[in-house]
A and B are shown apart, each in its own frame.
Chain A
Amino acid sequence: NAGVTQTPKFQVLKTGQSMTLQCAQDMNHNSMYWYRQDPGMGLRLIYYSASEGTTDKGEVPNGYNVSRLNKREFSLRLESAAPSQTSVYFCASSRQGTNYGYTFGSGTRLTVV
């Protein structure tokens, strides 16, 4: 019973490099989300996908792109990493149209040097 699986758990990038953070859920949830967590800032929404085939910007989308590959998978891409993108990234999923909250993955700790 995996829930939400994120890969990788840790990553170090050089400024300007690109990478994709992977997320998959096995709960048949319709909605998926990407958050970043920074000290003192809480969780801030980057992008979300209310259902398969749709994506929308959240609070802090600049510098990121997303792909909802299918119902299970939602990836986050950094095209040209910057030190300001050093953060812990969390993927989450939920049932669409309900208020039962999100199930989170265990996070990806990204450092951009």
Chain B
Amino acid sequence: GQQLNQSPQSMFIQEGEDVSMNCTSSSIFNTWLWYKQDPGEGPVLLIALYKAGELTSNGRLTAQFGITRKDSFLNISASIPSDVGIYFCAGLSTSGTYKYIFGTGTRLKVLA
């Protein structure tokens, strides 16, 4: 089945640093989503991408839909302590059933 590889698995950064993470697949996706999960909560949608090459921002977050449609990237600028959490990518399956495939997550820890 389709799988998403997300990297890095975890990262520790200093407050104020920029963060980059990515998601790659062996299959083509039509839509990429990025979610954030706070401890003890469900994932919350951050950014949605619908076209290859699309670059979309949400505050300090910027995500890109890769040209090959097999990858996506999320950048966080000037990180703050509340950025801590798990970031998930999700790709829309091309099987036509509107089911998303989720990556394994990137756990971000911000050191003040």
Q: Do A and B come from one complex?
A: yes
Residues of A within 8 A of B88 (CB): 42-43
Task: Report the separation of the CA atoms of residues A40 and B100 in the bound assembly, to the nearest whole angstrom.
Answer: 18
Residues of A within 8 A of B4 (CB): 42
Q: Is B73 an interface residue (CB 8 A)?
A: no
Interface footprint category on A: 20 to 34
Q: Judging by beta carbons under 8 Å apart, are B90 and A59 in contact?
A: no
Q: Judging by beta carbons under 8 Å apart, are A102 and B100 in contact?
A: yes
Total chain B interface residues with beta-carbon distance under 8 A: 27
Considering only CB atoms, which chain A residue lies closest to B31 in the complex? A99
Residues of A within 8 A of B104 (CB): 40-42
Q: Judging by beta carbons under 8 Å apart, are B43 and A99 in contact?
A: no
User: CB within 8 A of B98: which of A4, A96, A105?
Assistant: A96
Q: Which residues of B contact A (CB under 8 A)?
A: 1, 4, 6, 9, 30-31, 33, 35, 40-45, 48, 50, 88, 90, 92, 97-100, 102-105
Query: Closest 4 A-B residue pairs measured CB to CB?
Result: A104-B42, A42-B104, A43-B102, A99-B31
